[in-house]
Structure 1
Amino acid sequence: MKVAKFGGSSVADADQFRKVKAIVGANADRKAVVVSAAGKSASEPIKVTDLLIQIEQLRDRGQDFLPVFNHIADRFIGIRDALDLNVAIEDDLRLIKSQIVDASHDYLVSRGEFLTAKLMADFLGFQFVDANQFMIFSHHHFDYAAAKQHLLSILTPGSRIVVPGFYGVDEHGKTHLMPRGGSDISGSILANLLDADLYENWTDVSGIKMADPRIIDQSRKINELTYEELQELSYMGISVFQEEAVQPVREKRIPIAILNTNHPEEDGTLVVSHVRESAANLVTGIAGKKDYVIITINKYQLSKRLDILSQVFSVIQRFDVAFDYLPSGTDAFSFIARRGDVKDQVGAIMDALRNECDLDSVELAKDISLVAVVSDELGKRPAVAGKILDMLDNSQIKIQLVIQQSSDIKLVFGVANQDYEKTIEKIYRNVNVTEKKLRMAI
């Protein structure tokens, strides 16, 4: 059986609902459907989830949120009426409206998925199963055993279900939101619980591109990649698939197909345990993020000075900043964080390190981008990394740092923000043009 998740753009209006029904009806194995909240459309420039966040912000400021709520209500009623459905969505809207004043963030923001799934279940003729009936989190971790027990008690032989994504409940029965993009996670978890043969992730693109199409026009599509490659690319910034959605299906080796709701006839990207040798490329994908800061500390024989490193980590921990990478050398150690995570604390962190940690120097680099080259081939063919470095050097792109991940499938370059797009373009163009030569030379 197949679990099919449809993103916000796939359920944005009545026309998109009809596309979903055609896709689901085309294959009887699609027995479980997960939906996001209605997203942007030609006539609706704001996602329902973002409108619900607006309601919360207006409520918290003591301002009138009813115009925004009424717009959301009109949107769902409009979809219902355009599809000639019978579901009494007004009853759900009235209940939600009555609870806004005291509603938690998680409950309020999750209502977009709830309402969208209610309409979709009626349209498909499937059973609506609210995520709060079985998507159970305990101490912020998903409880697979409890979830499976609850789900099996709900399902009957031949059940065909629609489940809202993005939320579940905690151990106290309160709504628990997943990270943004969490409907991917919901679909992945459901595929795991049902031991699905395939997890389909339907979106508005025909698979994953090798590089950001906003930077590389006509970027080559990745036909196949591994779970590990997808997770690394998702972490480094591709927006097609949520990073945390990989593990639930990887655990049971359930393939993922990333497909286009608007063009279901097109091949997408298949995610599997091992890529066929004929489908493997020297570089699977290139992704990145802008606006990092790098704090580098220096002290003679620092790698042997556990007392100083302990002081340093104590300072870093005090500021509660999430640092992504910590490359080290004999005398130096670097902390890397997104500028948005550090905010205005950089100066205070630098002063604390200088005043409390007996260091030789503390240096700061700002406006840094990280560009990741991801491929299973990097570990098998070490010369690939050297050739990419040589190519960037010849392009006069200054490399601020290089991080080779222990997994051997990701190579990360730190470059100035102003060189971000240029770096991705240089790697993409040269790898594609010289791939045959690289294969022959390695």
Structure 2
Amino acid sequence: MIVAKFGGSSVADAGQFKKVRAIVEANADRKVIVVSAAGKSDSEAIKVTDLLIEVEKLRDAGEDYMPVYNHIQSRFVGIRDALGLKVGIETDLQKIAKQIPNCSHDYLVSRGEFLTAKLMADFLGYQFIDAARFLVFDQNGVNYGESINRLRDFLSYDDHIVVPGFYGVDEDGLTHLMPRGGSDISGALLANFVDADLYENWTDVSGIKMADPRIINNSRKITELTYEELQELSYMGISVFQEEAIQPAKEKQIPIAILNTNHPEEDGTLVVDSANSNAHQLVTGIAGKKDYVVISIQKYQLNKRLDVMAKVFSVIQKFGVKFDYVPAGTDSVQFLAKRTDVDGKLMAIVNSLKSACDLDSVKLEKNIAMVAAVSSQLSKRPAIAGKILDLLDNSQIKIHLVVQEGSDIKVVFGVANSDYEKTIEKIYRSAAVSATRLKMVI
């Protein structure tokens, strides 16, 4: 069995619905379909989810939200009519409109997926199952046992189903939203629940690129990579696949295929437990994020001063900010965080560290970008990190910090925001292997 998830761009209008049906009908194993809310299209500049968020903002501000909601209604009715469907979507739209004045954020924002899935189920001739009827979250996250038991009852009736992504319910039966991009998670959970042979994630790109195509023109596509490599790349900023969607598939060794709804004939990226990597291509992918701050603290033999570190962590905890921290030697540690996470608190944190922790020095660096080179080859050839450092040094790119974590498949370089694109380009140009050249040039 194949679980196929279609993102917002894949279900944006009637034309995209037709592409989805052609894909589903091309393989009889595609029985479980998960959809996002209708996304942007040539005629619609705003995603349905963002329109629903705008409705909520207007409601909370005491302003008239009906013009925006009327546009949402006309969009779904338009898709229904263009496809010649008979499903009475107006009834659902009216019910939602009555709920808006008092409904929760999670309920309102999830209605885009709900309505899109209703239309898709009718279009495919599949059974529609509201995720709220089986996908249960408790205080520990997804309740796998309860969710599988509830889903099993529906599948015993008909195993050709369409499910809205992005939400489920909590133990009290109230709508529970996942993070943005949560439909990827819904698809992975369904794949896990039904022991799928393959989880297909259909979007508007033909797989994952080795580097951001906005920085690297014609960036090479990654044909195959491991769950761990995808996890690290997702964490570091690639937006093709939601990081939290990896574990449910990995747990049961279900391959993930990332494919293009607009070009289903093209090969995408396959995610598996152990990739058939090219030993000469030492970097699988490069990703990064801008706008970090780095606080460097120094104290003689800090690695032996647990009392000092306890004070440091106490100060940071007081401000409620999540920092990552990296030992930088026997005498120093570096703390890093997204600038947006410390806005309004940064200087207070620095001043508290200086006054309360008996440190030799506290230094602050702003406007730092983190660039990660990810590859399973890093664990086999640790000299790669040194080669990349030499490359960046020769390119006169200042390295503010280096992090190589215990996973041994990722090395992260801290550089100035202004050097972010240059750093990615230098690593890519030196690490990518062309079809005719199989030798690393770093």
TM-score, structure 2 normalization: 0.97
- The residue number in structure 2 matching 1:180 is 180
Deviates more, 1:137-146 or 1:283-292: 137-146
Contact 1:140 1:170 in 2 (8 A): no
- The residue number in structure 1 matching 2:439 is 437
Map residues 303-314 of structure 1 onto 2, 5 A cutoff: 303-314=303-314
1:267 partnered with 2:267: yes
Residue aligned with 1:214, SS: coil
Structure 2's unaligned 5+ residue stretches are none
- The residue number in structure 2 matching 1:47 is 47
Contact 1:224 1:279 in 2 (8 A): no
Measure the CA separation in 2 of the matches of 1:173 and 1:281.
Answer: 49
Measure the CA separation in 2 of the matches of 1:326 and 1:76.
Answer: 50
Measure the CA separation in 2 of the matches of 1:433 and 1:252.
Answer: 32
- The residue number in structure 2 matching 1:336 is 336
Measure the CA separation in 2 of the matches of 1:293 and 1:161.
Answer: 47
Measure the CA separation in 2 of the matches of 1:33 and 1:408.
Answer: 36
Residue 185 of structure 1 and its aligned partner are, at CA, apart by: 0.2
Contact 2:281 2:433 in 1 (8 A): no
- The residue number in structure 1 matching 2:206 is 206
- The residue number in structure 1 matching 2:365 is 365
Residue 278 of structure 1 and its aligned partner are, at CA, apart by: 4.9
Residue 381 of structure 1 and its aligned partner are, at CA, apart by: 0.9
Task: Give the percent of matched residue pairs that are identical in Structure 1 and Structure 2.
Answer: 70
Alignment: residue pair count: 440
Residue 389 of structure 1 and its aligned partner are, at CA, apart by: 1.0
Q: CA distance change for structure 1 residues 145 and 279 in 2, over 3 Å: closer, same or farther?
A: farther
Q: CA distance change for structure 1 residues 163 and 394 in 2, over 3 Å: closer, same or farther?
A: same
Measure the CA separation in 2 of the matches of 1:358 and 1:226.
Answer: 45
Map residues 93-132 of structure 1 onto 2, 5 A cutoff: 93-132=93-132
Contact 1:167 1:178 in 2 (8 A): yes
Map residues 18-417 of structure 1 onto 2, 5 A cutoff: 18-156=18-156, 158-278=158-278, 281-417=281-417
Q: CA distance change for structure 1 residues 279 and 64 in 2, over 3 Å: closer, same or farther?
A: farther
Q: CA distance change for structure 1 residues 401 and 279 in 2, over 3 Å: closer, same or farther?
A: closer
TM-score, structure 1 normalization: 0.97
Measure the CA separation in 2 of the matches of 1:152 and 1:258.
Answer: 27
Measure the CA separation in 2 of the matches of 1:326 and 1:404.
Answer: 9
Measure the CA separation in 2 of the matches of 1:189 and 1:279.
Answer: 33
Please provide the CA RMSD for this pair.
1.4
Measure the CA separation in 1 of the matches of 2:362 and 2:107.
Answer: 45
Structure 1's unaligned 5+ residue stretches are none
Measure the CA separation in 1 of the matches of 2:325 and 2:15.
Answer: 44
Contact 2:280 2:439 in 1 (8 A): no
Residue aligned with 1:32, SS: strand
Contact 1:299 1:359 in 2 (8 A): yes
Residue aligned with 2:326, SS: coil
1:13-53 residue CA offsets vs partner (Å, 9 max, x unmatched) = 00000000000000000000000000000111111111111
Counterpart AA for 2:359: L
Measure the CA separation in 1 of the matches of 2:140 and 2:110.
Answer: 17
Residue aligned with 1:102, SS: coil
Q: CA distance change for structure 1 residues 28 and 422 in 2, over 3 Å: closer, same or farther?
A: same
Measure the CA separation in 2 of the matches of 1:345 and 1:158.
Answer: 55
